[in-house]
């Protein structure tokens, strides 16, 4: 019986320690709004939204740093920063010491990627619909 309790606790810890949640929007067609932003084919835009407070953010595409900045969310609009990347590359986002890998197989289907930071967790939302900020 003690063995089952130990296994249950270990499974709970492993599941609760996952710090990146990915959300994929089912809408596959690009919206008219995204076309108005003039993001060319083969590129996606990464938005860093809420929860950033002087966090060092690096975006690395195929082992080359393409964006580096200390970001703080502007609470009035809910945005900390953004960058455009080639969506055919493997993208690694480093936030302080945390790493988020955005694989080209996934990001090539989406024009917009929203990354939200809350405590020690991140939510990555992949979509083709541009969202307004507060």
Position 15 scores a pLDDT of 43
Q: How far apart are CA 4 and CA 11, in angstroms?
A: 11
φ/ψ of residue 91, rounded to 5? -110, 130
Instruction: Measure CA 95 to chain center.
Output: 10
Both ends of the chain: CA-CA distance in Å? 52
Mean pLDDT per block of 10 residues along the chain (134 residues) reads: 54 49 57 55 92 95 93 93 91 93 83 90 90 72
pTM summary value: 0.76
For the chain, which domains are there?
20-127 (2.60.40)
């Amino acid at each position: 019986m003690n063995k089952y309790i130990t296994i249950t606790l270990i499974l709970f810890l492993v599941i609760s320690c996952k710090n990146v949640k990915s959300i994929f929007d089912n809408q596959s067609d690009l919206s008219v709004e995204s076309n108005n932003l003039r993001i060319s084919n083969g590129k996606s835009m990464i938005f860093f939204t809420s929860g950033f407070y002087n966090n060092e953010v690096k975006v690395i595409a195929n082992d080359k740093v393409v964006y580096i900045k200390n970001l703080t969310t502007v609470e009035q609009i809910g945005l900390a920063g953004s960058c455009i990347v080639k969506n055919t590359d493997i993208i690694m986002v480093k936030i302080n010491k945390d790493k988020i890998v955005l694989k080209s197989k996934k990001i090539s289907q989406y024009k917009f990627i929203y990354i939200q930071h809350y405590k020690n967790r991140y939510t990555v939302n992949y979509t083709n619909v541009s969202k307004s900020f507060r």
